[in-house]
Structure 1
């Protein structure tokens, strides 16, 4: 075929399309109906059994609404299990708004420091352009969640409840992004005057960010009175607490022991090595975001063993692939797009990563697993999209989907084989800022 499209080419494509009855049939169907409804394999959908052999959740799901805070919700949903048990209540929520406020403020500082670090480069340098593309999104990673708690603690939802903007962040983010890009312009313009002059201007930018956050989200409490009534109607008072004191009292899991395990099957990503991504993070001078690349079978075994041992599992995935939201299910072959389009889709997981067809987009919590002959067959998932869909907000994932679209879990270091645990102490391979493994779950 020639470089350009000619009338002859276009005519031949039209004739090829019209010559096949199946093309006209699919055109009639898809122009009138959602392609997912046409491509849905009902044998798979109706064949999914939602029951599981090991099931932990007996609480209500949460709802991130129109925000990209899934990684916070999934992390706090993991921690609230122990907190509810200690408090003697059926349902409990930590304040998601509290962590959102501190993540935005810390991330603004993190971004401006990256701008100072790269201010000797051209504005169209690939790293600089990547930083400016999205200075302050809602998304995040497990290590970023832990860093926020270590520095700023936690509060109950009653101490810092949701606001309109915490549940619908678009307008707030629009103002913050403009402020930060404007600040980046100023900091880059001061590069010749040195870091001291740049950080004086940085403080002014952060003061404006602080105002925006206070206006949209309220003010994080420094201390609050904590008292509650348990499920047996007994009243308790713990007194005045700081966020750090509250976290120390009601977070039962040893967060410092948890590590992030990923499945990155690209040839350039060896199993058993740690990775980090340039400029990825939220807390300056906090622990870096580090991944340990492991095989898929180990990733699934550790998740299964955690659940059968009584502990849910935080995980990240590419959520919208092969998803039926009204039924609340995922399966790797749920939709037969190849039959609809008469075109094979042949990229495997590594190809999809390499060619920008996939990345981690969402974080949730595994709360159940169906174990058959010692291995997982399906998974029960606590989503943070409210109670309206699936089983009151709990979804079902077939194990085939885990293989193709799950990328990472948070697991205890002590659960790793000794060789992999030792690999965590090795210096990580540094990936560029735009690598797909730097994607943020939202």
Structure 2
């Protein structure tokens, strides 16, 4: 390693002082935020909330201080079908119900995963990854499918939000302390041949954390009464409906939907399916599987589903070039390079490989603007409440969408025979820390 010399620092300062642009920028930044200085006002002309395909959807939901975006997005797909079937003006499914069972299944998934690491070195990278991650709020489409197939869905009134379900940080921290404590004690038990004690500890942890979930979220209902008043003020009541029955009455088979990703990295050739080791919630549930395709194909598949008036669950990196007040993501709206006098652009593959980009938020696409058959912008139903954007709906420019969208879920009927065959192949197994598992 080589230290920076005093002479080198003097040279850097001389070059800096010689550039008058830096003098202007320094003075502006002393009183103004960097993103405001870099904002390109002319870009607003291309980000009006007008779309050639615009599916009429229900008011937005609010995940509040939790990372349950993937659950909210998945339930938003299902609630549209229920609302259409019963002619409802407003309707939500219980995100709390789904989150309860997700947490419970993730706890069990962690306990079962630890079984593979009871005798490895303490600094084993995969063990360290599992311990660092613990259980979080995030998840993937196929994890959502596993939950719905096992536990069904219920209306929000059947299991409403609690303070803990909407504010999950402390609860997650306590659960992870308990799980890491178990991992430490289980490894000690195996080290000294106390296998029966290890099993007792495991059962105790599951029992204690189930009780903690009930304390935090409430008891999940085994059955409920479904009451609605439709757009014509007609009252409907169905008693003693189980959550699984309610899902089957929706008329959708979630197993018919395929996760398509765009990961243009050397380790992931196109037209192959991929899964991520030690990523999941329901043990024995649906395997997490992604089909990697060219981005233009992901766009085409999404548009085809929107043309059939069906919204699209998708995952993107929303930490880039966004304005939460206006509800716009647009990579043309900010010019940091000109202001700062330094190149910043990276390719999509570079961002994935070098930890600058990853899926961190799931939402649903409800519209797209096509000009001569080509998309220019996309309409997004978010789950951050109605006080931002256009009553909670957001817009993504197509150039932003191309750069920062990594996943879309579409019905398998839109895939070609070759694509479906590639999806159905035994998936390539990726490391637990692969960016294609970042949403979870």
- Classify the TM-score, shorter chain: over 0.9
Partner residue in 2 for 1:191: 190
Partner residue in 2 for 1:219: 219
Q: Which range is displaced more, 40-49 or 274-283?
A: 40-49
Partner residue in 2 for 1:109: 108
Q: 1:316 to 1:196 in 2, by over 3 A?
A: farther
Distance 1:400 1:186 in 2: 51
Q: 1:15 to 1:107 in 2, by over 3 A?
A: same
Distance 2:297 2:199 in 1: 45
Partner residue in 1 for 2:400: 401
Q: 1:65 to 1:92 in 2, by over 3 A?
A: same
Partner residue in 2 for 1:149: 148
TM-score, normalised with respect to structure 2 = 0.97
Quote the offset at 1:8 in angstroms.
1.7
Q: In structure 2, the residue corresponding to 1:395 is in which secondary structure? A: strand
Q: Deviations over 1:331-365 (max 9, x none)?
A: 22221111122111231000010111010000000
Partner residue in 1 for 2:287: 288
Quote the offset at 1:30 in angstroms.
1.9
Aligned 1:73-92 pairs, distance under 5 A: 73-92=72-91
Q: In structure 1, the residue corresponding to 2:274 is in which secondary structure? A: strand
Q: In structure 2, the residue corresponding to 1:239 is in which secondary structure? A: strand
Q: In structure 2, the residue corresponding to 1:424 is in which secondary structure? A: helix
- Contact 1:116-1:195 at 8 Å conserved across structures: no
TM-score, normalised with respect to structure 1 = 0.96
Q: In structure 1, the residue corresponding to 2:139 is in which secondary structure? A: coil
Partner residue in 1 for 2:233: 233
Cα RMSD for the two superposed structures? 1.4
Q: Which range is displaced more, 45-54 or 390-399?
A: 45-54
Aligned 1:372-411 pairs, distance under 5 A: 372-411=371-410
Quote the offset at 1:208 in angstroms.
1.5
Q: 1:410 to 1:58 in 2, by over 3 A?
A: closer
Q: Deviations over 1:155-176 (max 9, x none)?
A: 1000000011111111111111
Distance 1:247 1:47 in 2: 40
Distance 1:149 1:60 in 2: 22
Quote the offset at 1:395 in angstroms.
0.8
Distance 2:231 2:83 in 1: 10
Aligned 1:157-168 pairs, distance under 5 A: 157-168=156-167
Distance 2:31 2:320 in 1: 22
Say whether 1:59 aligns with 2:58.
yes
Quote the offset at 1:220 in angstroms.
0.5
Distance 1:107 1:303 in 2: 30
Partner residue in 1 for 2:18: 19
Say whether 1:350 aligns with 2:349.
yes
Quote the offset at 1:50 in angstroms.
1.7
Flag structure 1 segments of 5+ consecutive residues without an equivalent. none
Q: Deviations over 1:273-312 (max 9, x none)?
A: 0101110111111121111101111100111111111100
Q: In structure 1, the residue corresponding to 2:370 is in which secondary structure? A: strand
Partner residue in 1 for 2:247: 247
Q: In structure 1, the residue corresponding to 2:429 is in which secondary structure? A: strand
Q: In structure 1, the residue corresponding to 2:424 is in which secondary structure? A: coil
Q: Deviations over 1:10-50 (max 9, x none)?
A: 22222222221111211222232111101111111243222
Q: Which range is displaced more, 5-14 or 213-222?
A: 5-14
- Contact 1:64-1:167 at 8 Å conserved across structures: yes
- Contact 2:153-2:246 at 8 Å conserved across structures: yes
Quote the offset at 1:123 in angstroms.
2.0
Partner residue in 1 for 2:206: 206
Q: Deviations over 1:242-284 (max 9, x none)?
A: 11111112x3322110011000000121000010111011111
Q: In structure 2, the residue corresponding to 1:190 is in which secondary structure? A: helix
Partner residue in 2 for 1:275: 274
Distance 2:371 2:93 in 1: 35
Partner residue in 2 for 1:322: 321
Distance 2:331 2:285 in 1: 37
Partner residue in 1 for 2:363: 364
Q: Which range is displaced more, 156-165 or 2-11?
A: 2-11
Q: Which range is displaced more, 35-44 or 325-334?
A: 325-334
Flag structure 2 segments of 5+ consecutive residues without an equivalent. none
- Contact 1:116-1:191 at 8 Å conserved across structures: no
Q: Deviations over 1:208-263 (max 9, x none)?
A: 211211111111011222222222222212110111111112x3322110011000
- Contact 2:304-2:414 at 8 Å conserved across structures: no
